[in-house]
Structure 1
């Protein structure tokens, strides 16, 4: 941060010299001053005192610098700056400021007979004008040297880090790429100009200062874009864009609307000449993060999507974070002053909403799954009423037909849709197409087409619009067809299946081979307790006889592709045998496009989750929870298994830098590892042989980084490596505005 303090010192010295150079004292002005000195001199004294304090804070030992060292460098033949040149300049600045303060004190008119004394003071000032000129000239040289030294170094740092700014802009999906390119050109132009000025020793201080003038605007732009990125990072959370799993009919419809080109086309009739922005949010009860099902998550997701596409609104949404240095994400989210609290986010949204009346923007929000909100319905209803209370905002929402939501949003028939009234033909088509794809069914149909039609009709009638029930029933009937069930057997099988999903899940769980029940219950409990959706490969590690001991003894060595594929295949088959489809394996595209192209992305992107949230809800009922605990008696604790599997995955990950950089696939496991370590008992923790357990993963990650040849300094916020210039560190945003 010394470069930042030096930059502030240089800026204040420049202001100081500019003001002092205008000083022309007269006896009359001295007389009318209430303090005994001119108003200009009084202000000059305050500024000189401030400069001296800045110099002391920058270089604590500046006050004891030798007078010889000072005089040798302030007679007009100052040497080129060395590594400690800024400290020397600060020392010089303090000394010259002391001289000027002493000189100003001699100009002060004190006591009675002020008219006579003011004349004597004016005469004294006239005699000492040469001394004043000398001091001002020395300050002029110091300020120019300091400014050139600091600004040139700062610009070199900025130029070297523009690619970081550009990469982060792309990662966040922001629209500042052209602006960043223009900024880079401006920085390089300034560097070229300053190099010419520094190379010419005959350049006057005034000319040097003129060459530095564009720096303020350039630095402000760098600050602005970096600050915008920090706000967007604070708003973002993983999985905010979509729930990523096939949902019920309403969720499928909402996703279809989001991606359909006609949506924006039709909304243009409403937006007119204004720019249209579409943002979406899917409440997700199965989400491991509370943000997936909270008001804060909703507001953060909507604000993120709006602000990354329209960054000029960032200053409107978060004015205080620019004015006083506060940054979203730096405070406790429970603090009402924190921009990421519900109050702070709502205030940001209200400011945007007010700004829409004077901007050329209209907003359309798609919000799915109000029934999956984690809280009282009235709370989310009130929030939505605030969001949509503007002629420039429209909202499309979906929910189960709860009374609270129907009363608030569904009173007008023309503005609501009941999915079960529209999906009958879709369900019938799904059943027919699925059956017709099976050769054995086609043989049955050829024998008696009428009975097959009756079977399909019976399924459609019993479905009551519930696609999940239809899917499970069709799956069961296809198993019967594979076993050469006759049509009469299929109809009897259909009528024996529970019409209620909970009963259906119960039947599935209790028909699992008793030999597998301990593993079945363990897999269910792990998936319920997991703080994030876990990769399939972790289930292979958790299926070992003793997952913790396996993790401790496992060598740190990359898993070859053949072994990876074999283990994934085994884990998939084990899940099918033990869980009978209640747990599903799906490929999850990463939020980072670069992660999807990693050589072993299959290690992290094939993940396991529940078939549907209703399956999880069923397993969380009191009776089933007790049953799962009973079946896993004597087995490994779910949290211990998860910690062990994370350690295993960190050990076998490819030894490539991309996996271990901040935000990489392995380092993302740090937070869930700590969460589950904290949920372990002391007995389980001691089995890792490391205290505290979180240190186990850190040691592995550090070892892997060394193998990759990495030297990475993690910052406290875990937002990534801070690659901005030295004077743009964590505190920069909080201090810089006092200097510009």
Structure 2
């Protein structure tokens, strides 16, 4: 066994790992084993043996190294080989490695010397232990662990020996904070483009011949991220997160609905994955569970297994998914959103294709990124923090480039990129596109036909497969049916799933278990009636199960349950009407108000926001204890179940989990000490959603909308209500925001959050009823933004810092002569035209804005 042989093997793994990294690809984290030895050897052999291209690739990617208890030299008592061997022994290395280290002392010394000659180009940190090991003593003392040089950062890990120096019990430990600090700084220096290797950090070395204009690795990362971010929209994952997961048994281990999808012979899906081509069409009635099935397919580990086992012997499999959502944002129901999502998901996996398929965007962003990185480097060349590191934020650079580049995508441009991407996919790569809810695409018939034709053309490519789901509409039957593609009707395959769901769901109720004991033969008959009447519609079953559990809690007998099931309409829309008609008249005004608010909202509203729709005396600006917030969330849950007939529901933010339907499982009423942090956050940030897409369709029907409008309080302006409560959200955000004095401060990302709130507010304000409402609301918006030193850009897309040198008297710029700011706060320095006490002015503005908003809340009675 030779060290060089071990090195060659591990080199391949290092090269593979480095090629998989993006943002932090140029930071090497050398362990206490052979990591640094391998890295040094790669650099040494690359310089001595230029034909070792793979080793050169490793060295060219590395611009920073963090050594963690790594010996760099011997001492008066031991050679460097003995230091390595001692460290390896402390880490329980096998005898072969120890012998190799002893035999190859000269190689190790030579590698260290060569590394010393090259390291001037690298960002280096050396961390070392404080305590000796039992018996073995001090493994790698400071003299061996640290490299000499004024540019090398060094720090001891207190209270740790060689074995434990990077083992942490929690993030709160000081040792963890030290290590994570240096890792973060190394990544920041790398991403910011500060390359000690290049004279100009923005541009790559001039001998690069890969393209007419070549950029350094960090700048390329910024260009890639900027183009990817321009494809991403903030609701991209909302529909996926909101889809109910397949029902899993609480009794039978590993059993869930839809398990049959990956069975053989099953519906033929597995055969299509392995040997088929083109499109697989899943169609089913509304509410039959198509979206849940598509999510089940996407998340199932058997999917990749069967795709990789196809006859094509694909080296790589990529999956891109999109879920149309008619009740969502414009992007969620458009072809533009579909293309942006698919491109984002694919290009994120193969970033090397970005300059090939999007050359126009690359050519636009590239010079901007290089210039900004160069300017930032020049401006901060001498600026250092307390540890001597450059004061540069990689996230800030990306935001600055993103805002200046301001990429805008048209549908035609997206189609061109999509076409070029498919053409340039490696022939050994298989792409699977999962497309759910094509019937929820908001388009005219011709546009729908154009999209289906695009999908069919895409499916003809040898390395592309498409699995899509729709309702059984005529247009889809013409395009995908008639034996053109493999297909099935979902409602014909879910009888056992529905039976499984009904039995387990109802048997979980203690009241139903008591009823089963009293009527051991009749209760199973009731279950069978529900299953048969469902006709494959999962949503219908869910509503009936919910209704049955509520009836049991009201004391209904078996005969009552049977009668209610018999009289329930089998059609979903008639069932919705049946549920709506059962709302008590005393709740009509409240429920119609909630329905109108949820319908007009651009995004699902937080439960805590909807709570104020029924509370005339409460102040949404007040500070609340966590317990009060949890109680209000549960109150909203109860209101939606009773006052809104369950046609709306709460779902945990960032998940597909709805609040418990069984009233006996009132999780929100649990003792405070039993809550975990994540559980609290899920409930506190839960949002109000339509029960299903069919629910929104039903509520949007002209006759139903007219009925709800007639029940609503006269004069209620829903867009004004939403605008005011968006101002409440804005005020909450600015109250936690830092005070900005220069544009660079916005690089922390807060500017994007405030911009998004502003965009939502502007949309609501523009749709307020005629009058002075929009102007008054906008003034309050401007006050809150200016309280943190910001204003809105001309196009209203972003927020920007106020240049107070140009606008020193910004308190009166918009005619806010009533601002009650102190004389001292209003004094302006005669030298530079800036306020003496900027912080005091900001506080005055915040107080004034809050006061104006509270007055508006009282006047309008919208809370």
| TM-score with structure 1 setting the length | 0.61
Comparing 459-468 with 667-676, greater Cα deviation is found at: 667-676
CA distance 1:184–1:367, shift in 2 (3 Å) = closer
Does the alignment pair 1:276 with 2:360?
no
For residue 429 of structure 2, what is the aligned residue in structure 1? 361
CA contact (8 A) 1:536 1:606 kept: yes
2:325–2:441 CA contact under 8 A, matched in 1? yes
Q: Which has the larger radius of gyration?
A: 1
Mapping of residues 55-204 of structure 1, within 5 Å:
187-190=194-197
> Which residue does 1:51 correspond to in 2?
none
Alpha carbons of structure 1 residues 410 and 241: separation in structure 2 relative to 1, 3 Å:
farther
Q: Secondary structure at the match of 1:396?
A: strand
Q: Which residue of 2 aligns with 1:582?
A: 647
- Pairwise CA distance, 1:190: 3.6
1:217–1:183 Cα change, 3 Å? farther
1:292 and 2:332 matched:
yes
Contact 1:279 1:305 in 2 (8 A): yes
* Aligned-partner Cα distance in 2 for 1:210–1:625: 61
Give the CA deviation at 1:512: 1.5
Say if 2:324 and 2:437, in contact at 8 Å, map to a contact too.
yes
Q: Contact 1:285–1:373 at 8 Å: present in 2 too?
A: yes
Query: Contact 1:235/1:303 (CA < 8 Å) preserved in 2?
Result: yes
Contact 1:538 1:646 survives alignment (8 Å): no
Residue 392 of structure 1: how far off its partner (Å):
1.3
Alpha carbons of structure 1 residues 407 and 397: separation in structure 2 relative to 1, 3 Å: same
How many Å separate the matches in 1 of 2:629 and 2:463? 52
The answer as to 2:300 corresponding to 1:253 is no
Q: Is the 8 A contact 1:647 1:697 kept in 2?
A: yes
- Does residue 611 (structure 1) correspond to residue 676 (structure 2)? The answer is no
Q: Shift of residue 600 of structure 1?
A: 9.2
Aligned to 1:545: 616
**Structure 1 position 630 matched with structure 2 position 710:** yes
1:373 matched to 2:370: no
Higher helix share: 1
Cα distance in 1 for residues equivalent to 2:501 and 2:652: 23
- Alignment-derived partner of residue 47 in structure 1: none
Structure 1 position 668 matched with structure 2 position 756: yes
Selected match of 1:346 from 415, 421, 435: 415
2:552 is the counterpart of 1:481 = yes
Please report how far the alpha carbon of residue 418 of structure 1 lies from its aligned counterpart in structure 2 after TM superposition: 1.5
**Is residue 520 from structure 1 mapped to residue 516 from structure 2 by the alignment?**
no
Secondary structure of 1:449's aligned partner: coil
Alpha-carbon distance in structure 1 between the residues aligned to 2:485 and 2:683 = 48
CA distance in 2, matches of 1:481, 1:597: 33
Partner of 1:410: 481
CA RMSD of aligned residues (A): 4.1
Structure ranking higher on relative contact order (CA contacts 8 Å, 6+ apart):
1
Q: Structure 1 pair 353/228, CA: closer, same or farther in 2 (3 Å)?
A: same
1:491 aligns with 2:575: no
Deviation at 1:562, TM superposition (A): 3.9
2:596–2:718 CA contact under 8 A, matched in 1: yes
- Mean alpha-carbon deviation: is it higher for 292-301 or for 375-384? 375-384
Q: 2:531 aligns with which of 414, 436, 460?
A: 460
| Aligned equivalents of 1:599, 1:477: Cα separation in 2 | 28
In structure 2, relative to structure 1, the CA distance for the partners of 1:567 and 1:452 (3 Å cut) is closer
Residue 26 (structure 1) aligns with = none
Match among 755, 763, 766 for residue 678 of structure 1: 766
SS in 1 for 2:236: coil
- The residue that corresponds to 1:432 in the other structure is 503
Partner of 2:663: none
How far, CA to CA, are the matches of 1:184 and 1:582 in structure 2? 48
Q: Is the 8 A contact 1:233 1:719 kept in 2?
A: no
Between the aligned partners of 1:459 and 1:320, the Cα distance in structure 2 is 58
Partner of 1:154: none
Query: In the alignment, does 2:516 pair up with 1:445?
Result: yes
Distance in 1 of aligned mates of 2:216 and 2:195: 16
CA distance in 2, matches of 1:450, 1:319: 70
Answer yes or no: is the 8 Å Cα contact 1:241–1:280 preserved in 2: no
Q: Is the 8 A contact 1:646 1:673 kept in 2?
A: yes
Q: Tell me, in whole angstroms, the C-alpha distance in 2 between the residues paired with 1:291 and 1:468.
A: 26
8 Å Cα contact 1:541/1:645 also seen in 2: no
Alpha-carbon distance in 1 for matches of 2:683, 2:725: 12
Matches of 2:708 and 2:528, distance apart in 1: 37
CA change 1:260–1:339 in 2 (3 A) is same
Query: Structure 2 stretches of 5 or more lacking a match?
Result: 1-150, 152-183, 245-286, 369-406, 657-675, 739-745, 802-863
Q: Which runs of 5+ in 1 are unaligned?
A: 1-158, 160-176, 196-208, 328-337, 723-740
Query: How far apart are 1:212 and its partner, in Å?
Result: 8.7
| Residue 824 of structure 2: aligned partner | none
8 Å CA contact retained: 2:324, 2:438: yes
